[in-house]
Structures are given as structure tokens and as C-alpha cells.
Chains A and B, each alone.
Chain A
Amino acid sequence: MQAFLDTFDIYLLEAVVNGILLGGVLALLALGLNLIFGVIDVTWICYAELVMIGMYGMYYMVQVFGLPYWVAAPIAILLVAALGAALHYIVIAPLLTAPPINQLLATGGVLFILQSFATVAFGIDFRNLGIRLPVLAIGDMHFSYSRLLAFVAALLGMLAIYFFMKRTFTGTAIRAVAQDRQIMSLMGVDTKRIYLITSALGGALAGLAACLLVLQYDVHPFVGLSFGPITFLICVLGGLGNFVGGFIAAFVFAQIISLGGLYSDLEWGYVLAFAFFIVMMFIRPAGLLARRS
């Protein structure tokens, strides 16, 4: 093992592994957004703000009410799932046939409502769970358990969604709606119900992401801005609504951020990622895995 590590630049290796770990969580976020876009054909601009609410939920349950993390996490996931369903029912459903720009403006409005609500209700202090997970040391490389846990949980979450979509009648109907929504009633499918379930699933993924991110980052009303934009770039790079494309793009972006951060500052990693995105938009405007129609 040591001989193997000696032949590599361990800092490079550490950055690559950390990039992969980051990619898992980004892929989870991208999957939630892609699910909503692919099935309902609506973009939830406020997606990262749902994550923020979930993080606050975790903070209050763990720090204020003293619930153990493992009890609080499923409650937070259910809470954000309900929030996703409510978002669909209250904001999206009345606008389903409206022009896309109106839908964007409406979910954009929800973004500001949630940010302002959080500012008023929770204040602008940075808060955290006060849980410090140990760091795993392999040779001279260090990986935090919170990142490892986030990576594994994100993969399990995505796997669960995959099997749900492949194996169940409801999951198959969700994939079918994305391809031909007009004839769904001929199959006996109530599209409204499928949209509501999909929104709850999208919310649940945001809730899971919240549980994982709250272990690594402090929560504040504007924390959504730290990963909202990058999630959108990932989805667009992978091809909006394309689950596999989003998954790949998440790891590409995570690697750029992580390696960029190794050779310079973390902020430069983000700059590089965004520059890469702009270049890619010229080369493959419809995304990495664009379908040729």
C-alpha cells in the first residue's frame, strides 16, 4: 500500500478521491432536479432552497429538540418531500399550461420567499449540528467521514430511485409520462397524481441531500446559493431531464472543482467549472448526452 502511495502524488490522489465524494452529493441534487424537469417539464429554480429548509429542519430537530441524527434524518426527508408536493400543488399545478417563463418566474419567486422566510424565522446566524465526525487517514491522505457517509448515502438514495423507477408500476408510469403525457389516461393513469408523487420524490431527494450536507456545511438562509447554481449547470451540461447525463456531469464538475481547488483556491475551482461549462455549451449546446432527434 505504502509503495503504491509513494509512486503517486498523494495530494493529487486525495483531491481526486474528494472530487468523487463531492460528485456523489452533486449527482443526488442533479437527479432530483432532473426528475422534476424530465417528468413535469418544469424547472424548480428554488430547488436548493428546499435543501436549505431541510438543513434547518435537521438543525432544529438535532440541536434544539435533541433528537438523535438517525431519527431526525428520516423526518427531515419526509418534511421536504411534503414541501415538494405542496410546491407542486400550490404553485406548479395552476401553471402547468402557462408559458415556461411564467413557471420560471413563479418558482424564482418561491426562492425569494423561502430565503426571506428563513431570514425572518431563523435569523442570519450560521448554524450547525455540532456533530464532528472523525477523519479517516490513509497514509498521509485524509478523508472526512462526513463526506464518505454523504457519498455512500447519496449512492444508496439514487439506487433506491433507480429500482423504484424500473420495478414498480408507479415508477414505470413516471417514466412513461415523460414520453407521452397525453395518452396516459388511456392507461388508466391519473397524471395529476403522478406529478404529485414525482414532486414528493424530488423533495425527498432534496431532503436526503439536506441531511448529508448539514454534516459538512453550516446552514444559513442563503446556503442554497452555494450549490443551487452548480446543480443547474450539471443538469444543463448533462442534458436537462437526462438522468444518466446528469450523473456523469456531476462527477465531471466535482473533479474540476476539486482539482482546481488543489492547484489553486477552492474559489478558482468553481471559476474553472463555470468556464468549462461555457465552453461546453458551445461544443454541445444540448448537453453531453443529447438525444439526436
Chain B
Amino acid sequence: MLELRSLDAGYGSFQALFGINLEVRAGEAVGVIGPNGAGKTTLMRVISGLIRPTEGSITMEGRDVVATPAHRIVDLGIAHVPENRRLFPRLTVDDNLKMGAYMPGARAKYAERLEFVFDLFPRMKERRSQMAGTMSGGEQQMCAIGRALMSDPKLLLLDEPSAGLAPVVVQQVFELVKRIRSGGLTVLIVEQNVQQVLKVVDRAYLLEAGTIRASGTSEEMMKTDTIKQAYLGV
């Protein structure tokens, strides 16, 4: 479904990603793990068009993502839940969800998508007229995921969904990822919480200093010595 070939990207003269090759197949959940500053967020941003690669290619179902204007990438079926959620704090939950359905294709299905999101997050229906910035971290994460789901995507990009949340809420977020997956959605998830993320994904890539150091199924990754020592603490 999504394919990255020898991708370089960075900010100005600073290069953050070096020759990334990565693939996500339809129906899969794939994790990208690695330390702070490894380039995980950059990887997500380059897929959704927030920054543009300097070299290499990205294709989504055979279509060239790099040649697509940033605001049309949602139309290819890619929805990005950015780092720190980035809700519109002084818009209501309803308005935040509305923004997720901005594209003409999504607007036509607006009522149907809204029902889907409210089914998934009944809490959001209770809070629909509340300002998004006044909700708890966990609720904001639900709202951010809901907003991304409003566009009826094929591929969901999740950037550190557990960051800054209480341990109990982190559990809920990963449960949620499982539920979203079971609906048939393809997921690419970036996480520092390696132990948790390896439980919900099929495969994972280890990203360190802008390059992919290892990849494999979750079981293989859990058995890899470097990952055990550096990330799982066993």
C-alpha cells in the first residue's frame, strides 16, 4: 500500500533521514520504534507532506505522493495524527471533527463518518460542544484520532499517541489502536513505548540516527538483543 524507496529528508541543511526503505501492506499494522531524535516524527511528516523529501520516492497504492500537493495527500487516503495531537484548542470537538472531513469526498459522507467516530468514542459525543483545548490528554488523543478518521482514510499515521498520557490512559490508547485495526484500517505507528507498541503491531522497524537499523515481525524484534537491552530493559 505505502512504499518508501531510498528516502532522504531534513530541515534546511540538517539531514534527518538517510536512505529509508519502508513498506506497509494493506491491512497491516506497522510500528517504527527508536530513541528521541532518531527521525521518527520526520518520517511521518514526510509521508503526509508536511515536509518534502530531498531524495527518493513515496508511493501510496502506486500513486506518487511526492508529486501530490500537500493538501491533496489526504485524498490519497493518508490521515496523519500529528505529534502532540495538534487539535485546534479553541474550536469545539464538533468543529475539530468537521475539519477532518474538509475534503470534498469526505464532506459528502460527513454525517455517516461523524456517527462512526461517535460510535468509536462515545465520550466525544458527550463533549461535542466543548472546546478541544479544555479536555484531558486522553480525550484530546481520542479527538485527534477521531479527526483523522473523519476523512475515511485507508492508512492512519499515528505519531506517539501515548506521549504525555497517564499509564492507565496509555493502555486505553493501545486498546483503541487494536480496535481500529480490527476494522480493517492499515496503521503506521511511531512510538517510544516499545514494549506496548510491539504488542499491537505485526511488524516493526528500528530507526536510529535517521537510518533503519533493523526490521522484522514483532516477535523477531522482541527477541533481538539490541532491542531487548536498549528498549525493553531485559
Report which A residues bind B (CB closer than 8 A).
Answer: 169, 172-173, 175-176, 179-180, 182-191
A188→B95 contact, CB < 8 A:
no
Contact A188:B102 (CB < 8 A) given known A169-B107, A176-B95, A182-B50: yes
B75→A188 contact, CB < 8 A:
yes
A/B interface sample: 8 pairs, CB < 8 A = A172-B91, A172-B95, A172-B98, A175-B95, A179-B90, A182-B50, A187-B74, A190-B69
Q: Which residues of chain B (28-73) have a CB below 8 Å from chain A? A: 48-50, 69-73
Contact A173:B102 (CB < 8 A) given known A183-B50, A185-B71: yes
B122 at the interface (CB under 8 A from A): no
Residues of B within 8 A of A182 (CB): 50
For the A-B complex with A183-B50, A183-B82, A185-B49 known, give 12 more contacts whose Cβ atoms are closer than 8 Å: A169-B98, A169-B102, A173-B102, A176-B88, A176-B99, A182-B50, A185-B73, A188-B72, A188-B102, A188-B106, A190-B69, A191-B71
Contact A184:B107 (CB < 8 A) given known A172-B98, A189-B99, A189-B102: no
Q: Which residues of chain B (97-128) have a CB below 8 Å from chain A? A: 98-103, 106-107
B164 at the interface (CB under 8 A from A): no
A283 to B76, CA, bound (A): 52
Smallest Cβ distance from B152 to chain A, in angstroms?
A: 12
B86 at the interface (CB under 8 A from A): yes
Closest residue to A170 on the B side, CB-wise? Answer: B102
B151 at the interface (CB under 8 A from A): yes
A191 to B50, CA, bound (A): 13
Smallest Cβ distance from B111 to chain A, in angstroms?
A: 13
B80 at the interface (CB under 8 A from A): yes
Smallest Cβ distance from A289 to chain B, in angstroms?
A: 13
A173 to B86, CA, bound (A): 15
B102→A185 contact, CB < 8 A:
no
B100→A187 contact, CB < 8 A:
yes
Residues of A within 8 A of B101 (CB): 169
A186→B95 contact, CB < 8 A:
no
Residues of A within 8 A of B86 (CB): 180, 183
